[in-house]
Amino acid sequence: MASDTVLKAAASPETVQPFAELGLKVDEYARIREILGRRPTSSELAMYSVMWSEHCSYKSSKVHLRQFGEKAPYSAALLVGIGENAGVVDVGQGYAVTFKIESHNHPSFVEPYQGAATGVGGIVRDILTMGARPIAVMDPLRFGPADAPDTRRVLPGIVAGIGGYGNCLGLPNIGGEIVFHESYSGNPLVNALCVGVMKHEQIKLAKAAGPGNLVVLFGAKTGGDGIGGVSVLASETFNATGTAKRPSVQVGDPFTEKVLIECSLEIFAEDLVVGIQDLGGAGLSCATSELASAGTGGMKVALDGVPLRDPSLSPEEILMSESQERMCAIVEPKNIKRFLQICEKWDVTATVIGEVTDGDRLVITWHGEIIVDVPPRTVAHEGPIYNRPIAKPSYVEKLASIDIKVPMPESPSEVREAILKLISSPNMADKSWVTSQYDKYVQGNTIQSQPEDSGMVRIDESTNLGVAISTDANAPWSYLNPYEGAKLALAEAARNIATAGAKPLAVTNCLNFGSPEDPGVMWQFAETVRGLADGCLEMGLPVTGGNVSFYNQTASVSILPTPIVGVLGIIQDVRERTPMAFDRAGLQLFLLGETQADFAGSEWAGIHKVIGGKTPIADLHKEMKLIDLLLEGQSIFEAAHDLSQGGLASTISEMVLKNNVGAQIKISGPSAIALFSETPGRVVVAIESFNVQLLITLAHRNGIACKNIGVTGGNDLLINDTLIALPELRKAYTETFPRLFG
């Protein structure tokens, strides 16, 4: 019997409730009482507390995120935009592609393996609920100093969790980043991206339409994992029937999810669902309220019908449980028999727990008693909205005024040592210690993956239609100038798509910041959103969805503002893609774009602990012309590699090492500027000698600087008079991660 029903709640308004322990503010609790006209039941309080949390309600970010809609460029390709589980774009030939990126930062610090694994599982289900088959994942990661004890604790577990879950699902991991910075100490960032494909007519939405239609919970049984973070033990009411302790991090089972994926896709293929929602953050509280809110508004659910792994769970705990591998579907009665047959075939537990009603309330019962009776929109979509104080931090102007000084190697020996130091640094070094733990080629449609500029997968084996995806961020740039940092991250991700020969099409993002209660952090966030919205408008790339992760800080020390920007592009024939590295001698090397003395926020400055200066200003018009050049001239490029972190020194080192083919490079002016500056909007391309004039003509037409810097061949990297044998270069590049992590 429920300990606290709606009738009892109405009759006992003076009862003290643990709203503060559940993360609700005084005014938020008062608002809930105003909405209901009484105090909430303990189950209603549980639902509002998780759904009005920062993670679920975006209460501190909504006022800024609206810009993605207000400034959205027109896009004929956009089929489903912001507001659903993931955005969907038209890629031609009747295909639609859905992609999204989300964070699982805090769970991954507490329990690295399961935190990262369930991050992958959650984003995969978001893609699945759109009606798509998931086809690839990516994972941008950020850690504290590479040699810090806590980094050695969390990194191996996080990598193992990503690989373990993704590999078991049979999804190739085709890209991502690993970056180290002291600001991430105690706050690793684990962002997970998934991409899926379907036909246009297969798109599904999260809505509970049609009175009389059935609410079906299917997948894994509900357990007590993922509840601890909302303090269910804070009151006697909440722990009266519960167990003594609940784990705070979800526990994933990739084999259960793999079966759930195949079961769901067969259900979708027979068009058996009206609406579909996964159970991720906030569990059943989220799934029921969002489905009802987006549909006709009425739903009745019998909570005691939910299959449980732990029979001691209280109603509040069932509503808040974030047990993995669960889905909620809206099914017409005429289709329920077939729906259940398919679930039985795949050995997937499926239970009818309720129905859609013609009312406007979400009603949940427990053994016949009404324990929840709420307007669903107030739970799912009408939570508190904060326009938090914003103040530009004093450090911004102070650091911008610094004329930064970095070492400027000049002699051949100095240049040689500088290059070896750069490429052996943790941020620049070879990441194959990590990526070798991921299956890149399962399903057989991976065209390119790490360490290429972008990941690429084929989506049609007969026509070779494909998509490319890149994720990028430069947190030091965003720290110095968050507006420009966001635009520069967008430009880099789009450029990384174009170097492979794909046309940028749409954007997703994961915005990782410190506490929104800090006016300085909110200024960083507001400027970032403004910059990204302005940049997407200028480049004509719609934002299809994303995620905000706040409270990434230790005590009063926040992480650097880290907006991870993901760009998806389309390539008509993946067989024509441009690789990042040349594979033979005799090719001419050209640098596209101009080089300035841009060291603010650079790797070269970071290695020497130099902070400050003015970041580059994003010239998105020129970036778009460079993209046009890369796409127009794709047929003549034997290789193309973006210049970003580490500058020309890093780019050319990666190019010669990929296929063990050397190069002779001629640079003019100060060596440090030519090699280590990080001026954006630059690409190194390799072409046959007979295509030189054509390249020059294309570059001139697009207004892009074009300079011959050398030729491929030999067993060394020769830069002016600086000679580095490829074996020595490779040793410096590859030994860092095994040395650090074993």
- DSSP secondary structure, 296-308, as one string: TSEEEEEGGGS-B
DSSP 669: S
* 248: confidence class by pLDDT, cuts 50, 70, 90: low
Residues in CB range of 561: below 8 A, 6 or more apart: 475, 478, 479, 482, 485, 512, 513, 521, 524, 525, 528
Read off the pLDDT of residues 287-320 as tens digits, 9 standing for 90 and up: 999 999 888 879 999 999 999 999 999 999 999 9
Distance in angstroms (rounded) separating the CA atoms of residues 325 and 278? 8
pLDDT of residue 105: 94
Query: Above 90 in pLDDT, residue 205?
Result: no
Distance in angstroms (rounded) separating the CA atoms of residues 706 and 704? 6
Q: Which homologous superfamily does the CATH classification assign to the domain defined by 6-61+205-380?
A: PurM-like C-terminal domain (3.90.650.10)
Q: What does the pLDDT average to over 275-282?
A: 89
Q: What is the pairing mode between strands 639-643 and 553-554?
A: unpaired
Distance in angstroms (rounded) separating the CA atoms of residues 695 and 518? 50
Angle at 468 between CA 466 and CA 473, to 5 degrees: 170
Structure tokens at 173: 């991991």
Residue 451: how many CA atoms within 13 Å on its side-chain side?
23
Query: Above 60 in pLDDT, residue 201?
Result: yes
Query: Above 90 in pLDDT, residue 227?
Result: no
3-state class (DSSP) for residue 616 = coil
First-to-final CA distance of the chain: 54
Q: What does the pLDDT average to over 241-255?
A: 64
Q: What is the pairing mode between strands 553-554 and 298-302?
A: unpaired
What's phi and psi for 194, nearest 5 deg? -135, 145
pLDDT of residue 231: 30
Residue 735 CA to chain centroid, in angstroms?
29
pLDDT of residue 636: 97
Give catalytic status of residue 55 as yes or no.
yes
Distance in angstroms (rounded) separating the CA atoms of residues 78 and 74? 9
Per the CB < 8 A criterion, the answer to whether 482 and 528 are in contact is: yes
H and E: helices and strands count for the chain: 28, 28
549 DSSP β-pair partners: 512
Structure tokens at 338: 């077939």
* 4: confidence class by pLDDT, cuts 50, 70, 90: low
The amino acid sitting at 399 is L
* 161: confidence class by pLDDT, cuts 50, 70, 90: very high
3-state class (DSSP) for residue 705 = coil
3-state class (DSSP) for residue 603 = helix
pLDDT of residue 6: 84
Beta strands in 93-188, from DSSP E residues, in sequence order:
95-103, 133-143, 173-180
Residue 485 CA to chain centroid, in angstroms?
17
Torsion angle defined by CA atoms of residues 632, 635, 636 and 641, in that order, rounded to the nearest 10 degrees: 80
Residues in CB range of 288: below 8 A, 6 or more apart: 215, 299, 301, 328, 354, 362, 364, 376
Q: Which percentage of the chain shows pLDDT scores above 70?
A: 97
Element containing residue 365 per DSSP (H, E): strand 362-366
* 238: confidence class by pLDDT, cuts 50, 70, 90: very low
The total of other beta-carbon atoms located within 10 Å of residue 448's CB is 22
What's phi and psi for 546, nearest 5 deg? 170, -150
C-alpha dist (Å) from residue 301 to 92, 264, 363? 40, 22, 6
* 251: confidence class by pLDDT, cuts 50, 70, 90: confident
Q: Which of 351, 212, 340 is nearest to 274 (CA)?
A: 212
C-alpha dist (Å) from residue 532 to 86, 305, 566? 18, 45, 11
The amino acid sitting at 592 is L
Weakest-pLDDT range from 32-36, 174-178, 252-256, 350-354: 252-256
Query: Above 50 in pLDDT, residue 233?
Result: no
Angle at 648 between CA 643 and CA 650, to 5 degrees: 90
Read off the pLDDT of residues 66-84 as tens digits, 9 standing for 90 and up: 999 999 999 989 999 998 8
Read off the pLDDT of residues 471-520 as tens digits, 9 standing for 90 and up: 999 999 999 999 999 999 999 999 999 999 999 999 999 999 999 999 99
Q: Which of 681, 592, 690 is nearest to 635 (CA)?
A: 690
Question: Which of 55, 64, 181, 641 is labelled catalytic?
Answer: 55
* 244: confidence class by pLDDT, cuts 50, 70, 90: very low
pLDDT of residue 83: 85
Distance in angstroms (rounded) separating the CA atoms of residues 364 and 693? 72
Distance in angstroms (rounded) separating the CA atoms of residues 548 and 561? 12
Exposed/middle/buried for residue 417 (C-beta within 10 Å: 0-12, 13-18, 19+): middle
Q: What is the pairing mode between strands 503-512 and 543-549?
A: parallel
pTM surpassing 0.85? Answer: yes
Query: Above 80 in pLDDT, residue 127?
Result: yes
pLDDT of residue 630: 98
* 555: confidence class by pLDDT, cuts 50, 70, 90: confident
pLDDT of residue 554: 83
Distance in angstroms (rounded) separating the CA atoms of residues 128 and 204? 9
pLDDT of residue 232: 32
Structure tokens at 561: 């503002």
Residues recorded for the chain: 742
pLDDT of residue 236: 27
Structure tokens at 367: 């053994």
pLDDT of residue 84: 86
pLDDT of residue 404: 93
Question: Which of 64, 104, 106, 181 is labelled catalytic?
Answer: 104
The total of other beta-carbon atoms located within 10 Å of residue 638's CB is 18
Which residue stretches of 500-608 are H helix? 519-539, 603-607
Q: Which percentage of the chain shows pLDDT scores above 90?
A: 87
The total of other beta-carbon atoms located within 10 Å of residue 575's CB is 9
The amino acid sitting at 81 is G
Residues in CB range of 317: below 8 A, 6 or more apart: 224, 227, 232, 238, 242, 246
Query: Above 90 in pLDDT, residue 11?
Result: no
Structure tokens at 662: 């050397």
Distance in angstroms (rounded) separating the CA atoms of residues 410 and 576? 40
Distance in angstroms (rounded) separating the CA atoms of residues 271 and 210? 15
Per the CB < 8 A criterion, the answer to whether 491 and 567 are in contact is: no
Weakest-pLDDT range from 29-33, 109-113, 203-207, 402-406: 203-207
pLDDT of residue 260: 96
pLDDT of residue 296: 80
Read off the pLDDT of residues 410-436 as tens digits, 9 standing for 90 and up: 999 999 999 999 999 999 999 999 999
